[in-house]
Amino acid sequence: MDRGLGPGEEQGRDHLAQQLQELHFSLRAAMKERWNRCLPFEDELFDRWERARFLGFGSESSIYQQSYVYGDVRIGAHTWVGPMTLLDGTGGLTIGDYCSISAGVHIYTHDTVKWALTAGKAAHAHGPVVIGDCCHIGALSIVVKGVTIGDHSVVGAHSFVNRDIPAYTVVAGVPARPIGKVEATGEGEVSIVFFASPDASRE
């Protein structure tokens, strides 16, 4: 039976709540002043670069506190993992250097489709995902198990990636299809060239 809190315990709880609120207000003001941002309390309190180091990611990579990380996830240097993301490494997930994993992206290396359809008789299916260097995965996109995304590729927002993507390719849609290509135009300069029609990528 829950005996409830005594008067002293209630006072201690209220005092702790007040301290947390004051800390939140102080950190919020400092972040607004320095970065012109207003973020959830956990991102005010914790350092996303420190979290990336704890997870063994490469130099200068960062990952928000609202990102879920499971299993074997390996990320290179200078990669940004945005908020509300899910990185499922139960089947092995590798992401290269200088990548942007935008807000709301889900990357899966397993699924439970056959397990559910067979009332638990079939095993979970697994397949590794590899994302190369210098890739941009657009907001709210989903990458499923077994997919390889080549270097310098772009996945448009809200895309469903269920097949391999060659290097220097732009894809978008559900399911994702090639809609353009990335062309290097000089040192530190690139351009995105969109195909005139969906079939142009086959020419």
> What CATH number is associated with residue 169?
2.160.10.10
Kindly tell me if the per-residue pLDDT of 140 is higher than 80. yes
> Do residue 108 and residue 31 come from a single domain?
no
pLDDT digits (tens, 9 = 90+) for 98-121: 999 999 999 999 999 999 999 999
Q: Do 41 and 53 fall into the same domain?
A: no
Mean pLDDT, residues 66-91 taken together: 97
Q: How many helices (H) and strands (E) does the chain have?
A: 4, 17
- Do 105 and 94 fall within a single domain? yes
What residues make up the domain containing 183?
A: 48-202
Q: Number of folded domains in the chain?
A: 2
| Range in 9-18, 85-94, 133-142, 158-167 with the lowest mean pLDDT | 9-18
DSSP labels, 59-73: TT-EE-TT-EEEEEE
- With tokens 């000089």, the residue in question is 186
- Quick one: pLDDT at residue 65? 94
Answer yes or no: do 56 and 38 share one domain: no
116 and 92 housed in the same domain: yes
58 with 134, same domain: the answer is: yes
For 82-103, write each residue's pLDDT tens digit.
999 999 999 999 999 999 999 9
The answer to whether residues 99 and 193 belong to one domain is yes
- Round to whole Å and give the CA distance between 195 and 170: 10
Predicted confidence (pLDDT) per residue in 2-16, tens digit: 566 666 677 778 888
* pTM > 0.85: yes
